[in-house]
Amino acid sequence: MSIQPVGSRRHRVVVIGSGFGGLFATQALKRADVDVVLIARTSHHLFQPLLYQVATGILSVGDIAPATRMVLRKQKNAQVLLGDVETIDIDAQAVTSRFLDRVTVTDYDSLIVAAGAGQSYFGNDQFAEFAPGMKTIDDALELRGRILGAFEQAELSDDHDERARLLTFVVVGAGPTGVELAGQIAELSRRTLKGAFRHIDPTEARVVLLDGAPEVLPVYGGKLSRKARGTLERLGVEIQLGTMVTGVDADGLTVKDKDGTERRIDSQCKVWSAGVAASPLGKQLAAQSGAGTDRAGRVEVQPDLTLPGHPNVFVVGDMMSLDNLPGLAQVAMQGGKYAAHQIIAGLDGQDPGQRKPFKYFDKGSMATISRFSAVAKVGKLEISGFIGWVAWLFIHLLYLVGFSSKLSTLLSWTQAFLSTGRNEMAATEQQVFARIAIDRLREHTEAAEGGTGAAREAG
């Protein structure tokens, strides 16, 4: 199937990705005289900053993942095409996508690539099966199953060492996602699950947060990092900094401390939130346009977020490298809107040479550590504690898509933060059983084959 102009040909904008960059770009084109084709791999937009709350039983999938098609239902000039983009041909101005066995070629006049980033294991992809990342709804639901499944297994075990291994949760990476996840696993075990078991005491679970960096939330640094660390430690999170992961297997990790000593941490449930790698589409764009890519595979764009020599191809969000801008929702939203506005200006006769460079307006960034406590940085202003947390609540509600999701999220938060319950504690059978079973099976197979292979070093 090939999507071709129908009737009078309007300027066609193809947008790749339904994250913050792609969605905001599409919505910014609502009143423009263009046809927008949004091609995305998932049928939902994802409010990624709250994914860790799906993983820890606070929010439902629907709260943070509205169907993109429903969000754009009333935007008549936009259509959503489900598919994985396989190739972009910037000379032919065409995008080839695939959904199952169905291949679609879509021509474009302007292109906005916002395909985001996935987890990076710094060359140690074999870690992924034992320490999954947290980038998609599937990841979050699987992690929920792994976390709750570990408690269930511990309840059934009467071996001291095995219990200790099952009740040790390791989060690799002390950036915002890692910090928020570690904080929530700690609250889950200390508050939510308190008294729910009869043979184990879930409040004794170890939650370990590891990072190679010398402080947590290094992007904030200084006072805020120290505050965050203090709050985490009061919650009972063990923080191990200056520590590199050298190996991950079904039963734990091997790590190397700053002084070079290697040691082992026995743990069944591990999560990886240590690094990101831009969508592989970045490499395609770079190769075709001569743009460079950075270490994370992000495309080095021109000041107007386009590829060199291709003023009609924009790259925004986590895929783009410009002025060391961080991988934040705000950068993607503003980039998407900027690209849309340049396209509209072009239709009005503006020459690409006249474009004003993209300028990121820093509205600040924040991370919640636990209920009632967050750290936030807005320009030079640093906020922490309860005021930071209220600001966090307010801003996240503001940006959630859809009135009903906002209400439903508020309700879930009221429950999770004021009572000791959580609404979304069901792990589907598939998630609890199948995945743990797969790990087990693999573990047994490997034991039979004698060893798990050489562990390589990771940062």
Site for its own copies (CB under 8 A): how many residues?
Answer: 68
Q: What share of the chain is helix, strand, coil (3-state, %, to 5)?
A: 40, 25, 35
Active-site residue (options: 180, 187, 215, 424): 180
Lookup: tokens for 317: 């969000």
What DSSP designation does 305 have? S
Q: How far apart are alpha carbons 417 and 408 in whole angstroms?
A: 14
Is 440 a binding residue for its own copies by CB under 8 A? The answer is yes
Q: Is 238 designated active site?
A: no
Is 292 a binding residue for its own copies by CB under 8 A? The answer is no
Q: How far apart are alpha carbons 50 and 201 in whole angstroms?
A: 28
Among 79, 246, 330, 452, binds its own copies (CB under 8 A): 79
Q: How far apart are alpha carbons 394 and 413 in whole angstroms?
A: 12
Q: How far apart are alpha carbons 319 and 332 in whole angstroms?
A: 9
Among 157, 240, 254, 293, binds its own copies (CB under 8 A): 157
Of the pair 63, 187, the CB lying nearest its own copies is at 63
Is 87 a binding residue for its own copies by CB under 8 A? The answer is no
Of 55-74, binders to its own copies (CB under 8 A) are 57, 60-63, 65-67, 69-70, 73-74
Strand order in the sheet with 102-107: 2-3, 102-107, 94-99, 84-89
Q: How far apart are alpha carbons 339 and 29 in whole angstroms?
A: 10
Of 29-58, binders to its own copies (CB under 8 A) are 41-44, 57
Cβ–Cβ under 8 Å, residues 185 and 56: yes
Of 180-209, binders to its own copies (CB under 8 A) are 192-193, 195-199
What DSSP designation does 215 have? S
Q: Is 80 left (phi over 0), alpha (psi -120 to 50) or beta?
A: beta
Q: How far is the CB of 319 from its own copies (least distance, A)?
A: 19
Lookup: tokens for 424: 């979304």
Is 94 a binding residue for its own copies by CB under 8 A? The answer is no
Q: How far is the CB of 240 from its own copies (least distance, A)?
A: 29
Of the pair 418, 454, the CB lying nearest its own copies is at 418
Cβ–Cβ under 8 Å, residues 274 and 117: no
Among 27, 288, 330, 408, binds its own copies (CB under 8 A): 408
Of 242-271, binders to its own copies (CB under 8 A) are none
Q: Which residues are catalytic?
A: 180
Residues in touch with its own copies (CB under 8 A): 1, 41-44, 57, 60-63, 65-67, 69-70, 73-74, 79, 81-83, 99-102, 104, 136-138, 141, 148, 152-153, 155-158, 192-193, 195-199, 402, 404-405, 407-408, 411-412, 415, 419, 421-430, 432-433, 436-437, 440
